[in-house]
Structure 1
Amino acid sequence: MTRISFHWPCGWLPFLAVLTAFHIWPISSEETNPAPSENASISSNAVQFQPYKRTESYKCGQFMENSINDPAMRLFHHFNNIFIRLLAQPFPHEKLLSQDARLGDLEVWKKSFQENHMQWIEFERNWLVICAVVVVLPTVFTLLYLLYRCCVCCCTRGKKKRHTDKRFDGCQRAVLNSVLAVFVLVNVFCAVIMLINTQYAQYSFEELPTRMHYCTNDFSIYKMETNERIKKLLRDDFHVLNATLVHNFHNVGANVLVKIKKTTGLVMIDEIIDRTKQAGTIQKDIIDLERDLRQFQASDSLFLKKITKLKESEESLLKCQSLPNSSKSSLCEAVLKILQPLLSDSASETSTGDILPTNAIESLKQITDLNTEEKFAGVREKMYSLQSLIQDFVDQRQDDAIDRLKSLDDTMFRLYEDISSGIKGIDLHFLDDLVDPMMQRREQFRTYVQYSWIISLVVTGIFFFIALSFFLGLFYGFCGRRPSYHNDDCCVRSTGTKFYSCGIWMSLMFMAVFACITSVLIFVGANASSMVCLPMEDPLSHPDMLSLLDRLIDAYGLNEDAQGHTSRSSLDPDLHIPQIFTSTQRPVDIIKGCRRGATFYTMFGLDKKFKLLNDGGPRDEYEELSNLIKTFSSGRSFKLNDALNFYSADLEKALEQLGQIQVPSINESQTEQLRSLSSHFKLDSVLEQLTKISEKKLTNTPVHEAEVVIKYLESLKPEAQALASQLKAIVISLEKLKKDLDGMQFNATELRGQLQHTNSVLMADNLSDRLYTAANEVVLEDLVRNVERYANHVNRSMMTEISSCEPIKEIAKNTRAALCDYTIDPFNGVWMAMAISLLLMMPIIMITTSLMKLYDRIHPFPKYIVNEPATDAAFATDNYNGGYNTGRANHSTPYTSSNYGYEYYPPPYLSTRG
């Protein structure tokens, strides 16, 4: 099979066209899908659909999870993009690109450059001007500076070098140093930014093929996910509806009976029976709790006896307390203070005999002997007969509904097959055709990137060297002393002059070369950002690129005309490109639709074909199924032949007896007293305090008494923990038992009134109407509304979830991040830092040239004139040294000494640091 050969950059145009068409504003949060425990729940009468659980995650944005968060560089890149956005111009593709040029024919591109060169120059005018300025300005400056230095060299030849400052040289030096400090620091930061962006760009360019492969593969994942969502909606969720309806069909009678009981008050009978049935269970709980309390009391008594053995240690500690050794006696006193609460608790005996009520079991046995279930057996049997009657009636009529449900199942299956076939028919191999060549040449591409990175490191190193030279020169200019004639000190300003000279000549040597490199990088990076990144960031604000996108769609056969014909005649017939656009549905329409939250199903008008949402499809079958279900309660077919009179003298007598039974409750104060016993078993806090005291080592002599107490309590700790757990379980059981015993209190008068009212309701003539109303509510709520819930679930899913733009927006956002934020932006950061550094070099060179003369001055400007002594009329034996240093050689001038002409006399104030 032959495939078309795309040439860069046009080979990626269809891929970027798809991304730009689907790219909306960045999404702030990712789609979350809680994991369901099962496919759906049918435990209740209402159908419940679990959310979709994604089987495979998108990988396009995974690289950002491990990326370095560098807010400073992101801010720098943001300003770069603002600069590019200000200078970018609309792309006049109608004038510059023909049909063949849009298909990637390089010869046609060359011809376009030759024939339309003025239009290309007009389009690139701003960037050409910037590039020209970047190239011409440093080059001209280099030539002028060299000419200036030659002229200075010629003019100063033979002249004596000045070593003393002029009147305002100190002020001039301070001002120039301050201005230079700003420029030099910015230049150093530019070098650092250049190095950082070089590393970012190198790594991003190496990983770009892999990242683009993941991003293109995410389209296939989205395609598979959409198919799975359709399957879940039309197959899995429909099976849940089917199971729920069948479950409800078989429980219509029971559900109607529950409704009748609630409306008539018959539910009171069930409550009385359920409460009296608990009497036997409560009796067993009381017996078990009595046994547990006896066991606990025995164990607690044994434990307290073991605690009382600490009395022996108490006597030893009292003796220790009376010793003359103050440190040891203080420690024994502290141990006694900690043990005192534990010893006082052990002196009290625990009694659990009064906690449980004495007559509770007898009272509960009386309730059990009343056998209230038998008293209501008649009315309950009639209710169950009514339930069977209703269920039999529904069972006779549910066959038509089940057949209709099966027919709807077949319709849903057919729709799923049609939609799934359409989804599977979307051919995304053209994305693989674009990415596979990059992946196959990935290692070769990385080799090129490595070589480029080495070259960039060399360039960055030279920039760093120049910036460091100026920085060190500035450092010596600020911190160094004045130079001297002896040249025996390196920490002087003249050392800064040497660094300045090195930086100047290095800058002049490479400035023109770096200017050419920077201009090339500017032209490439700025055009890539303005023509790719900015349109992908906000497509609607770039109508020129949207119109180019429309032309690309026509050229690459991504659309169909009004008659359904595709425009693929200009392409290789084996090229795998789907027709995803129509003559009326253009990229701008899709972008606006996605911003409104519409799905591709609604935007492309696919419901006209599948009729999943509107009339003529499953919606009509939903209504037919609902109408069949409504016949379950139509015609008032439920008739009661026998009266439901259940209230009798025996029942009234049983209620009186039930109300007379007084079931005693649990003594709350005794329960609280039992709960307070937990303090007996809290040995952890006691041991912790004793350990802290013993570790303080108040005395060098070991306190044997304290060590014995700690070891003994450590041995009792497991037993104390077991008793604490046992006590906690007993308290929980007592609280439950109290709640159960309180539920055994019956008010005979209240029960009698409620049951008499219920009996009168059941004897009324409108009981059949109540029965019909209950049946109608059950049918509507449990059956018809479940069908409506599924229909609404389908509508909501197709209009908001399935074929949603959100995953495509996320893929487009991550693709732009991989291509622009992590690759092109660092690339632009490199040339921006180079351009700023080159522009700063010119004022830096001019300022440092002026400072070099000022740094070489040995003497400051004198504050006042010192008259030299006259030696013309002196005798040879005259000594002007005042008797000091007679062996020192005479000098021709008083200013040649180390103290500026005053030898060993205090010099005048000459501002030596000025």
Structure 2
Amino acid sequence: MLQLIPLFLVLPSTVSIDFPIYRPSEQYKCGSFLKGHDDKALTLYYKAIDQFIRILSSPFPHQDLLNTKALSGDLNEIKESLETKYEQASDPKNENKKKKKHIVLKQERRIILHSVSLVVFSAVFTISYLVYRLLACCICERSSSGKKASTDGKFDGCTRNSLNVLLALLVLVQVFAAAAILITGQYAEYGMEELPSRLIHCIDDLNLYKRDSDMRIRKLLIDDYQTLNASLTHQLAHAGHTVVDRVKRLTGAHALDTLMNISTNAQDVITVLTDAKGNVRHLNEEASRFEAEFARLRKSAADELLACIEHEIDPLKAMCHKTERLLSSLSATQFRLSTHFLSESSDENLRKIVDANITSALEESNAKFTLMEEIIQQEIDKRVYSAQNTMKMISDDLFVVAETISTQIRQVNFDPLYKYVSLASDDKGQIRKYMQYSGIWLSVVLFFCLSLCTVLLLFFSSNLTNLVCQPLRDPLSRSDVMSLVERYLDIWKTSHRVPEDVQKFLEQRTPADIIRACQRNETFYEIFALDNKYRLNHLKDFEKDSYEQLEKYLQIALNELPEIQPFSTIVSKEELERLGKLSDLNISNINKEALEKIHSLIQELDLSAKAREFEESINNSGGGREKPRAVSQVLEQIKDIQERIADPLRQRLQVLHDNLTRLDTKLNEVQVPISSLIAKIQHAQALLSENVKLHFEKAAKDEFSALIENIDDYAEHVRTQMQTEVSSCKPIGEIAYFSTAALCSKTVDPLVRIFS
């Protein structure tokens, strides 16, 4: 059966650049506290309370309530805003200030109404119950002079049962509230204690993100370009060989290499087969030793096993019977390997191929192409200097861009955030002490003034959730808070000296725009339109002159080939006739039965596995009884034979199996129809005897295209990285999510739910 020429001899050789993947030096730690088990019941309870607070809350009227001075931290302005800011009356002619609505009261009216209703309900319930008890006592006193058999009124029993049910419900509510207060109080205390360290981890992650962004941009523009440069240099250094190799493939002259490969593989097959036959003879000798050892073991153990069967109790007899069967199965291994791995005709045909000395016969023909490689490479080396200078110039430009971006990244400073957390993280500070004992004081406060303090703290905690946590969790749903952030940003821009380019970027995007872009998985490079300045998404356009110059020099280096004379003959007629005699040779593969036999012997010689299986069997059936002495001795001797003989034997069999498997692969390469290769050589001879320059020019153009394709791959690699990896929003989004979880889910939520 005809075999196809191996693909690696047919397909053109191309160099594909594999840019290394960036490996961060550290892992983000901000969200490590969320890896623990969460209480799902409390989480649902928190969500319900959060939704209730969302219903009670109103948008924050910061534009009407707080002016620029108040936002800047002027305490007098803040005090005046809270005390004197009223909403204009609907009737502009009405100048009565009493009819105007105070802005703060209007914004908080739902929470205030809810709080007042709780206090009123508590007072009304208490007073009503006291009045009811007084009336009941009076009625009881009046009716005591009568002669009724029972003091109960007409509906007193029903009323008493109803009140008992109501009291039972109130008790259940109190129990639930007490349990919730206990659990959430512990969560709140632990959350406040851990909040500083958690926020510090998140700030550390921000600095890590900054370092990663710096390293990513330097890797992309410096290290990856050096990878491209090294690849282009390697391609140019071997361009002569590549061009000639392409000509061989285009014309069919690569059949010379295939024939020489067949000759080399045939020689290797004969050598390996000879060694394998010698190894098989040695293995058969070792097998005889293995069989003799087992025969000796079986003979020495026979008497003791027989005595065990005759005199021991039934469970131990069963063990001895199984041991005897184990020895019989191990002794039944037939270890005789044949040396006939290949058919005699195939072995003879391989020797004919080796005797034909194809390598020496085609050496002169192949030398013509080798000489052409050297001539072409010399010409390319003379003209490659200009291209190398241009590549260095592009490298210098990219280095400057990387340094510029890196400098701007390093100017971003997250260190001021540490000082805001350091107050709470100081063990000797008052804030830390408060956090440490907040649970005790919380219990005392709730114990002494439960109702009033709950209302007051509910007012503040609800606003904390409304104005801090809810906007952090879903910022786009709170346009009031987003506009407040924009106002703070405007104040920061006016009070700080902002570079002109940063000022321009901040004016182009609002915080809401940045959040939406991050949700679309855009990078900061795209969000702030930095490509207008650095043009990394269109690298070849930005460095257009340099890349055009590089392409020009590469084209000159490859397309201006030396004078190439036609090939009069590649292989002489006599050599072709001699090769033609090998066309009818048929070579088969390695005997599959021999390979399977070796594999099965490797499995059978695994005595330790059989011994373990045997021990498990007798342990299960023996009921925990100790093994008889005869059985233990047999197992010890099997282990000794395993270590001394079986293991070395298995290792040598495995080496033999691996060698024969590789040999089978080489035989596939030898099984190429020589007649088709001769036809290819004749076809190549006809093509290269005239218009030879045309074929070399086409091969040179293909090599030039491969070089340009690698340059384009780098430009595409830069574009992809800048749009997906470098300055990605994803780490910042995760840090924001984990920071919100540390502040709200693990600290504020339990604290708020105590008062809810």
Q: TM-score range with shorter-chain normalisation?
A: 0.7 to 0.9
Q: Residue 828 and residue 680 in structure 1: after superposition, are their counterparts in 2 closer, same or farther (change >3 A)?
A: closer
Query: Is the contact made by 1:622 and 1:791 (CA closer than 8 Å) also made in structure 2?
Result: no
Q: Residue 269 and residue 73 in structure 1: after superposition, are their counterparts in 2 closer, same or farther (change >3 A)?
A: same
Q: Is 1:407 aligned with 2:411? A: no
Q: Which residue of 1 aligns with 2:98?
A: none
Worse-matched range after superposition: 159-168 or 225-234: 159-168
Q: Residue 213 and residue 361 in structure 1: after superposition, are their counterparts in 2 closer, same or farther (change >3 A)?
A: same
Deviations 1:147-189 (A, max 9, x none): 4334434443594999899999988887776666555444322
Question: Following the alignment from structure 1 to structure 2, what is the Cα–Cα distance between the partners of residues 613 and 708?
Answer: 77
Letter in 2 for 1:49: F
Aligned with 1:47 (options 17, 28, 37): 17
Please show how residues 886-897 of structure 1 align to structure 2 within 5 Å: none
- SS, match of residue 646 in structure 1: coil
Aligned with 2:452 (options 508, 511, 516): 516
Q: Which residue of 1 aligns with 2:542?
A: 617
Question: Following the alignment from structure 2 to structure 1, what is the Cα–Cα distance between the partners of residues 685 and 727?
Answer: 58
Give the share of equivalent positions with the same residue, in percent.
Answer: 31
Question: Following the alignment from structure 1 to structure 2, what is the Cα–Cα distance between the partners of residues 261 and 171?
Answer: 108
Deviations 1:5-60 (A, max 9, x none): xxxxxxxxxxxxxxxxxxxxxxxxxxxxxxxxxxxxxx972333223222233333
- SS, match of residue 336 in structure 2: coil
Question: Following the alignment from structure 1 to structure 2, what is the Cα–Cα distance between the partners of residues 229 and 518?
Answer: 52
Letter in 2 for 1:134: L
- SS, match of residue 202 in structure 1: helix
Q: Which residue of 2 aligns with 1:265?
A: 252
Aligned with 1:108 (options 74, 77, 84): 77
Query: Is the contact made by 1:100 and 1:108 (CA closer than 8 Å) also made in structure 2?
Result: yes
Aligned with 1:776 (options 691, 698, 701): 701
- SS, match of residue 726 in structure 1: helix
Q: Is 1:61 aligned with 2:45? A: no
Displacement, 1:830?
0.9
Q: TM-score, normalised by structure 1?
A: 0.71
Please show how residues 239-318 of structure 1 align to structure 2 within 5 Å: 239-309=226-296, 310-311=298-299, 313-314=301-302
Question: Following the alignment from structure 2 to structure 1, what is the Cα–Cα distance between the partners of residues 561 and 628?
Answer: 95
Q: Is 1:91 aligned with 2:56? A: no
Q: Residue 712 and residue 660 in structure 1: after superposition, are their counterparts in 2 closer, same or farther (change >3 A)?
A: same
Q: Which residue of 2 aligns with 1:761?
A: 687
Q: Which residue of 2 aligns with 1:751?
A: 677
Deviations 1:498-550 (A, max 9, x none): xxxxxxxxxxxx6xx31111112211111111111222222222221122122
Displacement, 1:64?
2.2
Q: Residue 308 and residue 816 in structure 1: after superposition, are their counterparts in 2 closer, same or farther (change >3 A)?
A: same
Q: Is 1:72 aligned with 2:41? A: yes
Letter in 2 for 1:76: Y
Deviations 1:395-414 (A, max 9, x none): 23222222222221221122
Q: Residue 544 and residue 657 in structure 1: after superposition, are their counterparts in 2 closer, same or farther (change >3 A)?
A: same
Displacement, 1:585?
2.7
Please show how residues 624-663 of structure 1 align to structure 2 within 5 Å: 624-634=549-559, 637=561, 639-659=563-583
Query: Is the contact made by 2:508 and 2:528 (CA closer than 8 Å) also made in structure 1?
Result: no
Please show how residues 500-539 of structure 1 align to structure 2 within 5 Å: 513-539=449-475
Deviations 1:172-222 (A, max 9, x none): 887776666555444322221211111111111222233333333433333
Question: Following the alignment from structure 2 to structure 1, what is the Cα–Cα distance between the partners of residues 314 and 209?
Answer: 82
Query: Is the contact made by 1:638 and 1:771 (CA closer than 8 Å) also made in structure 2?
Result: no
Please show how residues 93-242 of structure 1 align to structure 2 within 5 Å: 93-116=62-85, 118-157=102-141, 159=144, 183-242=170-229
Q: Which residue of 1 aligns with 2:747?
A: 823
Query: Is the contact made by 1:412 and 1:618 (CA closer than 8 Å) also made in structure 2?
Result: no
Q: Which residue of 1 aligns with 2:6?
A: none
Question: Following the alignment from structure 2 to structure 1, what is the Cα–Cα distance between the partners of residues 753 and 413?
Answer: 38
Question: Following the alignment from structure 2 to structure 1, what is the Cα–Cα distance between the partners of residues 535 and 168?
Answer: 74
Q: Which residue of 2 aligns with 1:730?
A: 656
Question: Following the alignment from structure 1 to structure 2, what is the Cα–Cα distance between the partners of residues 677 and 439?
Answer: 68
Query: Is the contact made by 1:659 and 1:746 (CA closer than 8 Å) also made in structure 2?
Result: no
Query: Is the contact made by 2:65 and 2:103 (CA closer than 8 Å) also made in structure 1?
Result: yes
Displacement, 1:337?
4.1
Question: Following the alignment from structure 1 to structure 2, what is the Cα–Cα distance between the partners of residues 254 and 234?
Answer: 31
Worse-matched range after superposition: 243-252 or 56-65: 56-65
Letter in 2 for 1:120: V
Query: Is the contact made by 2:253 and 2:680 (CA closer than 8 Å) also made in structure 1?
Result: no
Question: Following the alignment from structure 1 to structure 2, what is the Cα–Cα distance between the partners of residues 363 and 681?
Answer: 36
Query: Is the contact made by 2:222 and 2:398 (CA closer than 8 Å) also made in structure 1?
Result: yes
Q: TM-score, normalised by structure 2?
A: 0.85
Q: Is 1:374 aligned with 2:360? A: yes
Q: Is 1:808 aligned with 2:744? A: no
Displacement, 1:453?
1.3
Letter in 1 for 2:121: L
Deviations 1:468-511 (A, max 9, x none): xxxxxxxxxxxxxxxxxxxxxxxxxxxxxxxxxxxxxxxxxx6x
- SS, match of residue 650 in structure 1: helix
- SS, match of residue 582 in structure 2: helix
Q: Residue 238 and residue 739 in structure 1: after superposition, are their counterparts in 2 closer, same or farther (change >3 A)?
A: closer
Worse-matched range after superposition: 413-422 or 84-93: 413-422
Letter in 2 for 1:618: E
Letter in 1 for 2:329: P
Q: Which residue of 2 aligns with 1:900?
A: none
Q: Which residue of 2 aligns with 1:583?
A: 507
Q: Residue 84 and residue 323 in structure 1: after superposition, are their counterparts in 2 closer, same or farther (change >3 A)?
A: closer
Query: Is the contact made by 1:632 and 1:779 (CA closer than 8 Å) also made in structure 2?
Result: no
Aligned with 2:440 (options 454, 479, 483): 454
Displacement, 1:825?
1.2
Deviations 1:857-879 (A, max 9, x none): xxxxxxxxxxxxxxxxxxxxxxx
Letter in 2 for 1:195: L
Q: Residue 132 and residue 642 in structure 1: after superposition, are their counterparts in 2 closer, same or farther (change >3 A)?
A: same
Q: Residue 246 and residue 738 in structure 1: after superposition, are their counterparts in 2 closer, same or farther (change >3 A)?
A: closer
Q: Residue 605 and residue 140 in structure 1: after superposition, are their counterparts in 2 closer, same or farther (change >3 A)?
A: same
Query: Is the contact made by 1:598 and 1:800 (CA closer than 8 Å) also made in structure 2?
Result: yes
Aligned with 1:431 (options 417, 423, 428): 417
- SS, match of residue 456 in structure 2: helix
Displacement, 1:657?
4.1
Deviations 1:291-343 (A, max 9, x none): 32122111111221222231464466567767898777666555444444334
Q: Residue 540 and residue 644 in structure 1: after superposition, are their counterparts in 2 closer, same or farther (change >3 A)?
A: farther
Displacement, 1:61?
2.3
Q: Residue 746 and residue 74 in structure 1: after superposition, are their counterparts in 2 closer, same or farther (change >3 A)?
A: closer
Question: Following the alignment from structure 1 to structure 2, what is the Cα–Cα distance between the partners of residues 377 and 532?
Answer: 82
Gaps of at least 5 residues in structure 1 are 1-42, 463-509, 558-566, 833-914
Question: Following the alignment from structure 1 to structure 2, what is the Cα–Cα distance between the partners of residues 328 and 441?
Answer: 70
Worse-matched range after superposition: 110-119 or 269-278: 110-119
Query: Is the contact made by 1:335 and 1:706 (CA closer than 8 Å) also made in structure 2?
Result: yes
Question: Following the alignment from structure 2 to structure 1, what is the Cα–Cα distance between the partners of residues 627 and 394?
Answer: 89
Root-mean-square deviation (Å) = 3.6
Aligned with 2:638 (options 704, 713, 721): 713
Letter in 1 for 2:113: V
Deviations 1:616-668 (A, max 9, x none): 7324433332233233344x645422325213232123313434666676544
Please show how residues 689-708 of structure 1 align to structure 2 within 5 Å: 691=615, 692-693=617-618, 696=621, 706=631
Q: Which residue of 1 aligns with 2:97?
A: none
Query: Is the contact made by 1:659 and 1:745 (CA closer than 8 Å) also made in structure 2?
Result: no
Letter in 2 for 1:223: K
